[in-house]
């Protein structure tokens, strides 16, 4: 059974990649989803063409209310589904909140989740591994970590290597049953910049820095707009925004356009961005901005940029601070320092003309392929069925490769000479 009551965001895309991989194992596959899921656009987009052997069970309720209430509802629905469908193996592709609630309420007893059923669950975020701000935050994170450790899942998968490496360093039973899961990104069809700009209907000339997806303050779009407006750039340097703008960002954009007139172009496609538009935007740009100020968890746009061979200028925090320099994906800076961010945009845009993806960046993108995602998810079930493992890249193998390249000094010429670092722009070596 694959348990997924939530259709929003990436959820059904994960099902699209997981369900076909399970049917190849010769097992009966049931996808437990919300009652109204088959009528949703997300279902039609991702699950319209399911392979034979997948049964859809639309019997769940979409979780509502705050995080605590939604997690309690998910727990109740999971227990009902376990009793009704009696599966041998369970996948929970999104277990944030649910893991903590189950750990707190059922971890000591375990009776609600019989040991004969193996349950694999995925945590998207691990805030317990990030810096705490004050005593209350530290206590909350310790409690969260304790509940995660008490959860009855046979395997606990993480998307965020910051959280995963934190768990592994602590050791113990939780570390033993934890794995790092790829955040799957399709290999894009990379067009040249001119063709991509023509298909998007944007000006052909000049240099572009792009920002994609949900465009709001949480993702630092306001910081990017202010830094771009004040940066020492040429009139032919453009900012491309593809995705739905929040009301506050629309208001800020109007202010900037009014104050600076036509001196510099900010081009927006203010709507839900399709995969094709995201790929065209990545191909059209010289530099991709992910200025998330205090983001916890993976940022798929960074992975998409790596797969498309485009450098990023990213916030120097959390996941991006951990992966962008390590895998030579571009540069990071303190985006909350607007003067530094503005200077970093100019430096990174200038340096982007010489950027070429290294083999380390290419291996990073390969780790996050849908095929590697499917191989990681089905590994334990293949063990139970005595089936051979699919070839796949592990996180430890990827890190070993990076260390080897660093120790031997075998690396292509990298953008980000010392002068960039000296001015606050951080890069990998």
Q: 104-155 pLDDT, tens per residue?
A: 988 755 556 777 889 999 999 888 888 877 888 888 888 889 999 999 999 9
Asked if residue 260 has pLDDT above 60, the reply is yes
Q: How far apart are CA 171 and CA 395, in angstroms?
A: 17
* Residues in CB range of 396: below 8 A, 6 or more apart: none
Averaged pLDDT, 151-174: 93
pLDDT exceeding 90 applies to what percent of the chain? 67
Beta strands 118-123; 89-92: pairing state: parallel
Tokens of 352: 């982007």
Asked if residue 97 has pLDDT above 70, the reply is yes
Choose one of 123, 156, 180: the last residue of a domain.
180
* Cα separations in angstroms, 310 against 242, 355, 363: 16, 8, 15
User: pLDDT tens across 25-39, in order?
Assistant: 999 999 999 999 998
Q: Are residues 87 and 170 in the same domain?
A: yes
Q: Are residues 162 and 218 in the same domain?
A: no
Where do runs of H (alpha helix) occur along 231-354? 247-260, 275-284, 300-308, 318-323, 338-351
Q: Are residues 224 and 106 in the same domain?
A: no
Asked if residue 213 has pLDDT above 50, the reply is yes
Confirm whether 311 is domain-assigned.
yes
Q: Are residues 123 and 13 in the same domain?
A: yes
Q: Are residues 355 and 216 in the same domain?
A: yes
Q: Are residues 218 and 166 in the same domain?
A: no
User: pLDDT tens across 347-405, in order?
Assistant: 999 999 999 999 999 999 999 999 999 999 999 999 999 999 998 899 999 999 998 88
Average pLDDT of the chain, as a whole number? 89
Tell me, what CATH number does 313's domain have? 3.40.50.2000
Tokens of 412: 């292509």
Q: Are residues 16 and 141 in the same domain?
A: yes
Q: How far apart are CA 108 and CA 404, in angstroms?
A: 43
Largest CA distance in the chain: 67
Tell me, what CATH number does 148's domain have? 3.40.50
The pLDDT value given to residue 425: 63
Q: Are residues 173 and 200 in the same domain?
A: no
**CA nearest to 118, candidates 429, 383, 394:** 383
**CA nearest to 96, candidates 143, 148, 60:** 148
The pLDDT value given to residue 272: 80
64 CB burial (10 A radius; 0-12, 13-18, 19+): exposed
Q: How far apart are CA 166 and CA 130, in angstroms?
A: 9
Residue tagged 């206590």 (tokens): 139
Domain holding 118, by residue range, is 2-180
Q: Are residues 142 and 223 in the same domain?
A: no
The pLDDT value given to residue 421: 53
Q: How far apart are CA 300 and CA 332, in angstroms?
A: 16
Q: Are residues 121 and 260 in the same domain?
A: no
52 CB burial (10 A radius; 0-12, 13-18, 19+): exposed
Q: How far apart are CA 5 and CA 17, in angstroms?
A: 17
Choose one of 122, 151, 180: the last residue of a domain.
180
Confirm whether 165 is domain-assigned.
yes
* Cα separations in angstroms, 43 against 11, 166, 306: 10, 35, 28
The pLDDT value given to residue 420: 53
Residue tagged 């990998």 (tokens): 428
Q: Cβ–Cβ contacts within 10 Å for residue 139, how many?
A: 11
Report phi then psi at 48, rounded to 5.
Answer: -65, -40
Q: Are residues 31 and 56 in the same domain?
A: yes
Choose one of 180, 208, 241: the last residue of a domain.
180
* Residues in CB range of 108: below 8 A, 6 or more apart: 150
Count: domains in the chain: 2
Confirm whether 6 is domain-assigned.
yes
Beta bridge partners of 241: 211, 268
Q: Are residues 158 and 223 in the same domain?
A: no
Confirm whether 399 is domain-assigned.
no
């Amino acid at each position: 059974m694959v348990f997924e009551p939530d259709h929003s965001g990436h959820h059904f895309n994960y099902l699209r990649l997981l369900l076909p991989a399970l049917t190849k194992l010769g097992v009966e596959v049931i996808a437990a989803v919300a009652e109204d899921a088959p009528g949703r656009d997300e279902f039609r987009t991702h699950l319209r063409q399911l392979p034979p052997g997948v049964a859809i069970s639309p019997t769940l309720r979409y979780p509502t209310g705050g995080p605590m209430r939604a997690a309690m509802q998910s727990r109740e629905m999971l227990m009902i589904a376990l009793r009704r469908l009696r599966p041998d193996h369970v996948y929970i592709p999104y277990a944030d909140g649910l893991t903590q609630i189950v750990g707190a309420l059922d971890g000591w007893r375990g009776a609600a989740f019989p040991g004969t059923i193996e349950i694999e669950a995925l945590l998207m975020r691990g805030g317990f591994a990030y810096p705490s701000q004050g005593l209350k935050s530290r206590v909350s994170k310790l409690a969260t970590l304790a509940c995660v450790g008490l959860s009855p899942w046979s395997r606990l998968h993480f998307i965020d290597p910051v959280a995963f490496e934190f768990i592994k360093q602590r050791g113990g039973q939780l570390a033993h049953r934890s794995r790092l899961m790829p955040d799957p990104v399709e290999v894009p069809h990379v067009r040249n910049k001119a063709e991509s700009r023509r298909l998007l209907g944007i000006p052909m000339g000049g240099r572009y820095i792009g920002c994609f997806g949900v465009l709001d303050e949480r993702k630092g779009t306001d910081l990017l707009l202010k830094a771009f407006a004040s940066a020492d750039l040429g009139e032919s340097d453009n900012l491309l925004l593809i995705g739905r703008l929040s009301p506050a960002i629309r208001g800020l954009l109007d202010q900037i356009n009014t104050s600076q007139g036509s001196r510099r172009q900010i081009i927006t496609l203010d709507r839900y961005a399709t995969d094709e538009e995201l790929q065209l935007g990545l191909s059209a740009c010289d530099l991709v901005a992910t200025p998330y100020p205090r983001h916890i968890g993976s940022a798929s746009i960074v992975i998409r940029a790596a797969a498309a061979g485009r450098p990023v200028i990213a916030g120097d925090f959390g996941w991006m601070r951990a992966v962008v320099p390590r895998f030579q994906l571009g540069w990071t800076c303190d985006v909350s320092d607007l003067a530094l961010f503005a200077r970093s945009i100019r430096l990174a845009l200038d340096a982007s003309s010489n950027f070429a993806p290294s083999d380390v960046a290419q291996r990073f993108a390969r780790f996050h392929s849908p095929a590697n995602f499917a191989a990681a998810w089905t590994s334990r079930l293949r063990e139970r069925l005595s089936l051979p493992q699919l070839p796949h890249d592990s996180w430890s193998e990827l890190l070993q490769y990076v260390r080897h390249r660093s120790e031997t000094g075998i690396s292509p010429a990298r953008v980000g000479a010392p002068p960039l670092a000296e001015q606050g722009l951080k890069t990998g070596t």
